[in-house]
Amino acid sequence: MSRPEQAAAPTPGDPSGPPAAASTPSGVGARPKRRRWGRIALVALLAVALLGAGGAVAGALWLRSVERGVDRVDAFAEVPEQERPATAARGALNVMVLGSDSRDPDGTQGSRADTIIVAHLPKDRSSAELISIPRDTWVPVPRSADGRQGGREAKINAAYAWGGVPLMVRTVEQFTGVRIDHVVLVDFAGFREIIDALGGVEITSEKTFTSIHPPFRTFRQGPQLMDGETALDYARQRKQFADGDFARIRHQQQVIKAILDRAASGGILANPGRLNAFVRATSDSVSVDRGMSLLDMATQLRGLRGGNLFFFTSPSRGTGTVGSESVVFADDRRARTLYDAVRRDAVKEIVAAGS
């Protein structure tokens, strides 16, 4: 297994010129209160799953300590109950995971949700089904609470800029028909430290390619051990792939699975130093809604491993343009089948519809 690739000093700059920033709807965005949210946004669930796997009193003590320091957000404020989907499967949970990469060299100014995931946790908690919704998916966005934004179709990530987490909840619930029970956000700044605390993660690159960002690493085809900075760079790459942002989603999913696999098999629970670094990096990065108990979630996810973590991408008909914006068009029929299975907690149907 090779060490992370460190590119030799190539000619500075991307020969194709600076990457174009993604177009987003105009308007004054709601600014995040204390931090911006990270791209690899399931670290929160992975962390509590890891500690739950420990099963020791020490894990509970750690989580109680961590839980007191985790930021809370009013995720469901300004979400009218009368417009929300009904709960169809008692005991199952649906967690919306949001992230944006404030340090992405391709990023634009302002608050955007670059990563949107609906994570379904079945009633028996035997698995987790993670559905990534492309950030450019063209959907109806409800009007914001102040009445100044929304009320029209736009890219789905515009909802976060226009009305913060509550408008994202409303938009995702309207798009999917799935009731969101909890929200998780992760500060991107902690991503590197989290992976480094695990001693790196193993990622298999589908092809050999060179990063478009300094220091212009070359990722060789096949498996390789990546430290936090290298994995972060890998997760950002999309312009070298024919399917663009779908490749970025695929890379995110690889890194999420690799984090969980490494955490479960890397002996971190037996290494107090690494455990301390991992938990502290995670707790510094995570924000959750006010109703989420990390201790309860850890207990429920104690059996979660890479082998029972399933990744899907929300069905689409492909890409196109609306006016001057490049967008992703949802495949309404296939999406309706997938999200109806999520709503009913029909795991086999989720897998069939998402495959």
Range of the domain at 235: 43-354
User: Strand, coil or helix: what is 72?
Assistant: strand
Q: Which residues contact 195 (CB under 8 A, 6 or more apart)?
A: 201, 226, 227, 228, 231, 232, 259
**Tally of structural domains, the chain:** 1
Across the range 240-264, mean pLDDT stands at: 82
Q: What gap in Å lies between CA 43 and CA 186, rounded to an integer?
A: 7
pLDDT range class, residue 232, cuts 50, 70, 90: confident
116 inside domain: yes
Contact between residue 103 and residue 318 where contact means Cβ atoms under 8 Å apart: no
Residue 35 covered by a domain: no
| Domain presence at residue 10 | no
Of 29, 294, 238, 282, the C-alpha closest to 115 is 238
Confidence tier at 9 by pLDDT (50, 70, 90): very low
**131 assigned to some structural domain:** yes
pLDDT interval class at 18 (50, 70, 90): very low
In a domain, 241, yes or no: yes
CATH of the domain at 229: 3.40.630.190
Instruction: Write down the pLDDT at residue 304.
Output: 73
Residues 346-352, mean pLDDT to the nearest whole number:
96
- Across the chain, mean pLDDT equals 78
Decide if 5 is inside a domain: no
What confidence score (pLDDT) does residue 288 get? 87
Strand ranges in 176-267 using DSSP code E only, listed in sequence order: 182-186, 201-205, 209-210, 218-219, 222-226
Q: What is the mean pLDDT of residues 324-348?
A: 97
pLDDT at residue 173 is higher than 90: yes
**Is 129 contained in some domain?**
yes
- Could you give the CA distance from residue 158 to residue 176 in angstroms, rounded to a whole number? 17
Please provide the distance, in angstroms rounded to a whole number, between the alpha carbons at the two ends of the chain: 30
